[in-house]
Amino acid sequence: MHDTAILLLEIGAVLLGLGVLGALALRAGISPIPLYLIAGLAFGTGGVLPLATSTDFISAGAELGVVLLLLTLGLEYNADELVTSLRGNARAGLVDLVLNAAPGAICALLLGWGPVAAVAMAGVTYATSSGITAKVLSDLGWIGNRETPTVLSLLVFEDLTMALYLPVLTALLAGLSLLSGALTVAIALATVSVVLLVALRFGRFIEAFVSSPNSEVLLLKVVGLALLVAGLAQQLQVSAAVGAFLVGIALSGQLAHDARALLEPLRDLFAAVFFVFFGFQTDPGKILPVAGLAALLAVVSMATKLLTGMYAARRAGIARAGQARAGIALIPRGEFNIVIAGLAVAAGIHPDLGPLAAAYVLILAAFGPLAAKLVQPLITSLTRRAAGESA
């Protein structure tokens, strides 16, 4: 009874604290992710008030948070849009991959962390936070802009790249032999291909099975299917997050819209727990020594993402103001970056990788939306001036 009481007290305190931090972030007009990470640092290893009883619960909640994050992201797209987007923006997607994976990989190699850490850091610096970027586009009224489809197509390309990258990283972190690693990757690729094929050819049957006029039944079916596929994907050496993402892609139309509306509060709750849990695993005392390096890496990443967005938007025939908005929208880091760093930390690749990734994400998760908000008036002014000159 005593342990149960302590468990409830700790969980209640964590959730209430996250609610207060979220309210502060809303008032300040920034993403709450940096504040959630800071909360995790405060209550985790080396923090000011380490939790004793609720760690296992929060760990399980963090796993659920990853699944729900990627599930709701998958619901934003359908399989046809995914294939069409990849065909039309493959070149820009490859430029994005090269420009933004390189800084992390080069950093790890220069530090002497080895090739496996280089692969992990490449993923940390590559992927944009789809969740934060979507919020930026919505908050600043950029959803209807001409460059927004280009930004979204790059996010889709990144998400699918992650579906292929995570199994490779998992195999490397597990220290599998070349044959075992190749087999793991082949199984992962086959699994992703099969799920995409099912989504393209038989998505209507999946939707018919999941669909329900009752919101409670719909929620249970969608979450249950996502967890089932995520668990199966994990067994097949594919990331559980990728499995959930593919389930989301298989659902489309009004069903996806209804499911997304039901899932958002649940997703936000467990996503917050996920970011806190990553903070738990990082000793705040180890962040200060790598803070300068994280800031330098963040500056380089901001430049490479800005170049990526401008290149992709220019290929789509977008004007300079739209090119700038596209680049700025791609700056934030968050979900996938922390997932990748968490895998590397759990595998014990290098003690400084977790603190470096945490500091890096903190900087870009906070500065990305802030940069967009600060630059918005300047872009608007330049757009009006250009329109006046052309008139």
Compute CA distances 123 → 2, 96, 158, whole Å.
Answer: 43, 12, 10
User: By C-alpha distance, which of 296, 357, 367, 294 is closest to 330?
Assistant: 367
User: By C-alpha distance, which of 366, 280, 288 is closest to 48?
Assistant: 280
For residue range 240-254, list pLDDT tens digits in order.
Answer: 777 787 788 778 778
For residue range 154-186, list pLDDT tens digits in order.
Answer: 887 887 787 778 777 877 887 766 666 677 677
| Domains assigned to the chain | 44-373 (1.20.1530.20)
Q: What is the pLDDT of residue 303?
A: 95
Q: Supply the mean pLDDT for the chain.
A: 80
The model's confidence at residue 382, banded by pLDDT at 50, 70 and 90, is low
Distance (Å, whole) CA 199 – CA 203: 4
For residue range 225-241, list pLDDT tens digits in order.
Answer: 888 888 887 777 666 77
356 or 377, higher pLDDT: 356
Q: Is the pLDDT of residue 391 over 60?
A: no
Q: Is the pLDDT of residue 362 over 60?
A: yes
When mean pLDDT is compared across 51-60, 91-100, 304-313, 367-376, the lowest value belongs to: 51-60
Crossing angle for the helix pair 178-210 and 240-250, nearest 10 degrees? 30
Q: Is the pLDDT of residue 43 over 70?
A: yes
Q: What is the pLDDT of residue 86?
A: 65
For residue range 44-72, list pLDDT tens digits in order.
Answer: 666 666 665 566 777 777 778 778 877 87
* Tokens 């009004």, located at residue: 254
Joined together, the tokens standing for residue 26 give 């809303």
For residue range 277-297, list pLDDT tens digits in order.
Answer: 777 767 777 888 899 999 999
Distance (Å, whole) CA 47 – CA 52: 12
Q: What is the pLDDT of residue 113?
A: 92
**What predicted TM-score, i.e. pTM, was given to this entire model?**
0.73
**Distant-in-sequence, close-in-space partners of 164: CB < 8 Å, separation ≥ 6:** 188, 189, 192
When mean pLDDT is compared across 135-149, 210-224, 343-357, 359-373, the lowest value belongs to: 135-149
Q: What is the pLDDT of residue 46?
A: 63
**% of the chain residues with pLDDT over 90:** 16
Q: What is the pLDDT of residue 36?
A: 81
Amino acid, res. 391? A
9 or 307, higher pLDDT: 307
Contact of 150 with 311, CB cutoff 8 Å: no
Joined together, the tokens standing for residue 80 give 């046809």
Q: What is the pLDDT of residue 101?
A: 95
106 or 157, higher pLDDT: 106
* Tokens 């008139």, located at residue: 391
299 or 378, higher pLDDT: 299
Within a 10 A sphere around the Cβ of 228, how many other Cβ atoms? 12
**% of the chain residues with pLDDT over 70:** 83
Q: Is the pLDDT of residue 386 over 60?
A: no
> Which stretch of DSSP H or E encloses residue 341?
helix 335-347
Question: What number is the average pLDDT over the span 19-24?
Answer: 88
Distance (Å, whole) CA 263 – CA 283: 32
Q: What is the pLDDT of residue 48?
A: 66
For residue range 125-158, list pLDDT tens digits in order.
Answer: 998 987 678 777 777 777 778 888 888 788 878 8
Q: Is the pLDDT of residue 85 over 70?
A: no
Distance (Å, whole) CA 176 – CA 130: 31
Q: Is the pLDDT of residue 390 over 60?
A: no
CB-count burial class (<10 Å; 0-12, 13-18, 19+) for 247: buried
